[in-house]
Amino acid sequence: MAESKTISLNMGPHHPATHGVLRIELELEGETIVNAKLRIGYLHRGIEKLAESRNYQQVIPLTDRLDYASASANNMGYCVTVEKLMGIEVPKRAQYLRVIMAELARIMGHHLWIGTHALDIGAMSVVFYAFRDREMIMDINEEISGYRLTPTFFRIGGVAHDATSEFIKKVRDFVKWFPKGLDGYHKLLTENKIWTTRTMNIGTISADEAVNYGFTGPSLRGSGMAYDVRKAFPYSSYDDFDFQIPVGEKGDVYDRYLVRMEEFSQSLKIIDQAIENLPEGPVNVDNPWISNPDLDEVQKDISALIRRFMIHAKGFAAPEAEVYQAVEGAKGELGFYLVGDGSEHPYRLKIRSPCFYLASALPRLMVGHMMADAVAIIGSIDIVLGEIDR
Amino acid sequence: MSYKNVIQTIHKKFPEAVVNECVNKGQREITLAQSQFYETMRVLQENPDLPYDLLIDILGIDYTPRTPRFDLVYVLLSTKDFSRLIVRLKAEEGEEIQSVSRIWHSADWAEREVYDLMGVPFSDHPDLKRILTWKNFEGHPLRKDFPLEGKDFDKPFDPETIEDYT
């Protein structure tokens, strides 16, 4: 009688389907996965440690590099946390602009997900359509901030500057166009026999188990738990907008796919409401120690020049307190635990990255499935290694 | 169920478990004593009225030169009414904390990260080893006394020491 033997296979760290540098040591029996071990840390840049030697506003560009597929959503999380620590109320117009940017970032992150997820499974054409539409959001980012992927448009107490009419026009164009694009993805995948066969009943996880593994965001909602930080703990005027939380039933790859597809249209709905009801007013908090004076003012007024210099060179102090604040990132609950010690630098900044916990459940999701399903499962929980390793 | 009821529930079972309680910037916070920490966490998770079933995050804060040196902060969420609870635990340097990974699976990696970056060991953990840095890495980067420059900082990197292949 033949002896049953397992072979171990390294997937990654340079495997295209791992969406970054993730290494998985798979133990295979034939083509079935019997065990999986994850190795992370290849992209560890020590963002939490770096933050401790920077001013509060100098940390904002670092947060862009967490989940680089949806950068503005991370800016939102960090800025909201610092504002909670310092007790700042952001003007309504800035809050709406932030919501527009964060929701555009969510759509951008989901574009990357749908494109690469379908590409991993073998549906090659989706990525071209997804990136065509993603390009439109990149143009919007470029219009408002000058950067395409990592806009760093947020500031503590508001946003960098007011929206231009060109920005509003581009956002409106996108809102008008995108339902057609989304319809195209649905036509390519949702009813596709190969797609449903590859994704249904793969990587199933029940709601209770998903909660125990620390799932949040679309992956948790795919299992049927309607938890969304935007609804449960509204921040930045999210309670002004009318939107639904899509939930799945079974918690398999296909349900998580459907949830994210529905999130596209819900995000679009929020952007549409925000851009049409954009309030008038300032985009920065009226606090001379925090908000940057205008360049016009700096050229005429010496005190404004000094103020600008002080804000950039020295920064501003936050009180001695601890806060935890979470926002709904593209991947789930993105939380920041911030400890202030009365100085201009954070004493400790802990980033709760949703992908970290999603990735920790990968062995649980993979075991028992075929080797080829591993890429489908990795794609379905939508991890970004920049956020896992920090 | 309100914050007061949560504390009362704990108080009924373990009268000496809660050292301190406060509401800070709208956040409900309790500080637990080491002696009954694990049992109290189990009660919080299994409490039928308000189960704190989602462990959002674990983090360590280094308050050196204070003793006890570390604060461990557990951020919990109840999926029943979506309320948060922050549980705080003070730890001496080198003191082993009971792992909660048997209560919440998500604590597995979270505790490994605290061990790796902050150097707080956990007892009863299924696989306690470094997670973001490599096996032979010296020191714990998020401690306040970790050197940021100087001769200790820039040691040559030997790729052979990254991991054990066992």
Q: What is the pLDDT of residues A64-102, one digit of tens each?
A: 888 888 889 899 999 999 998 888 889 999 999 999 999
- CA nearest B133 in A: which residue? A41
Of B57, B77, B107, B45, the C-alpha closest to A227 is B77
ipTM over 0.95: no
B63-115 tens-digit pLDDT: 888 888 898 999 998 888 888 889 988 888 888 888 988 888 889 899 999 99
The verdict on a CB contact (< 8 Å) between B56 and A322 is no
Determine the Cα–Cα distance for residues A293 and A306; give it in Å rounded to an integer.
10
Q: Which amino acid is at A86?
A: M
Q: Which of B55, B73, B84 sits opposite A214 (nearest CB)?
A: B55
Q: Quick check: bond before B68 cis, omega within 30?
A: yes
For helices A126-145 and A165-189, angle between their N-to-C axes, nearest 10 degrees: 170
Tell me whether B148 touches chain A (CB under 8 Å).
Answer: yes
Provide the 3-class DSSP secondary structure of residue B133. coil
Task: Point out the least confidently predicted range of A269-283, A318-332, B138-152.
Answer: B138-152
Determine the Cα–Cα distance for residues A222 and A330; give it in Å rounded to an integer.
14
Report the run of H or E that residue A93 belongs to, with start and end: helix A92-121
Provide the 3-class DSSP secondary structure of residue B58. strand
Indicate the pTM of the whole model: 0.88
Strands (E), chain A: 7-11, 23-29, 32-39, 154-155, 158-159, 322-328, 333-340, 346-352
Of A337, A289, A297, A293, the C-alpha closest to A317 is A289
Residue that has been written with the tokens 């899509």 in this structure: A246
- A232 vs B contacts (CB less than 8 Å): 82
Determine the Cα–Cα distance for residues B18 and B86; give it in Å rounded to an integer.
12
The verdict on a CB contact (< 8 Å) between B109 and A356 is yes
Size of interface A-B (CB pairs under 8 A): 88
**How far A235 CA lies from chain B's nearest CA (Å)?**
14
Using the Cα atoms of residue B18, residue B22, residue B25 and residue B28 in order, give the sign of their dihedral: positive
Q: What average pLDDT is seen over chain A? A: 88
The verdict on a CB contact (< 8 Å) between A335 and B75 is yes
Residue A278, CB half-sphere, CA atoms under 13 Å: how many?
21
Determine the Cα–Cα distance for residues A256 and A39; give it in Å rounded to an integer.
24
Mean pLDDT score, B139-155: 74
Determine the Cα–Cα distance for residues A214 and B54; give it in Å rounded to an integer.
6
User: What token pair was written down for B126?
Assistant: 């299924």
Mutation site for B-interface testing, chosen from A10, A350, A352, A381 by largest number of B Cβ within 10 Å = A350
- A223 vs B contacts (CB less than 8 Å): none
Confidence category of residue A18, pLDDT binned at 50, 70, 90: low
Q: Which of B59, B113, B141 sits opposite A49 (nearest CB)?
A: B141
A300-347 tens-digit pLDDT: 888 888 888 888 888 888 888 889 999 998 888 999 999 988 888 899
- Determine phi and psi for B93, rounding to 5 degrees: -65, 130
DSSP state of A240: G
Q: Quick check: bond before A13 cis, omega within 30?
A: yes
- CA nearest B57 in A: which residue? A352
Determine the Cα–Cα distance for residues A333 and A73; give it in Å rounded to an integer.
11
Strands A158-159 and A154-155 come out as antiparallel
Inter-residue contact A36 to A362 (CB < 8 Å): yes
- B134 vs A contacts (CB less than 8 Å): 41
Determine the Cα–Cα distance for residues A89 and A135; give it in Å rounded to an integer.
33
DSSP state of A39: E
Tell me whether B132 touches chain A (CB under 8 Å).
Answer: yes
**How far A179 CA lies from chain B's nearest CA (Å)?**
32
- CA nearest A22 in B: which residue? B132
Residue B53 confidence (pLDDT): 87
Of A60, A61, A19, the C-alpha closest to A43 is A19
Determine the Cα–Cα distance for residues A152 and A61; give it in Å rounded to an integer.
6
Tell me whether B22 touches chain A (CB under 8 Å).
Answer: no
Report the run of H or E that residue A283 belongs to, with start and end: none
Vertex A47 angle, CA A45 and A53, to 5°? 120
pLDDT at residue B165 tops 50: no
Q: Which of B55, B73, B134 sits opposite A337 (nearest CB)?
A: B73
Residue B10 confidence (pLDDT): 77
A351-373 tens-digit pLDDT: 999 999 999 998 988 888 888 88
The verdict on a CB contact (< 8 Å) between A326 and B108 is no
Q: Which of B54, B79, B132 sits opposite A44 (nearest CB)?
A: B132
- B56 vs A contacts (CB less than 8 Å): 214, 216, 326, 333, 335, 352
Inter-residue contact B121 to B96 (CB < 8 Å): yes
Q: What Å distances lie between residue A283 and A56, A97, A161, CA to CA? A: 19, 9, 7
Which chain B residues in 26-65 lie under 8 Å from chain A, judged by CB atoms? 27, 53-57, 59, 61-62
Tell me whether B141 touches chain A (CB under 8 Å).
Answer: yes
Of A286, A280, A279, the C-alpha closest to A240 is A279
- B106 vs A contacts (CB less than 8 Å): 212-214, 357, 360
Residue A102 confidence (pLDDT): 92
- CA nearest A357 in B: which residue? B106
pLDDT at residue B166 tops 60: no
Q: What is the number of other CB atoms lying within 10 angstroms of the CB of residue B79?
A: 18
User: What token pair was written down for A291?
Assistant: 């908000």
Determine the Cα–Cα distance for residues A110 and A41; give it in Å rounded to an integer.
24
For helices A253-276 and A165-189, angle between their N-to-C axes, nearest 10 degrees: 160
Determine the Cα–Cα distance for residues B161 and B164; give it in Å rounded to an integer.
8
Q: Which amino acid is at A96?
A: Y
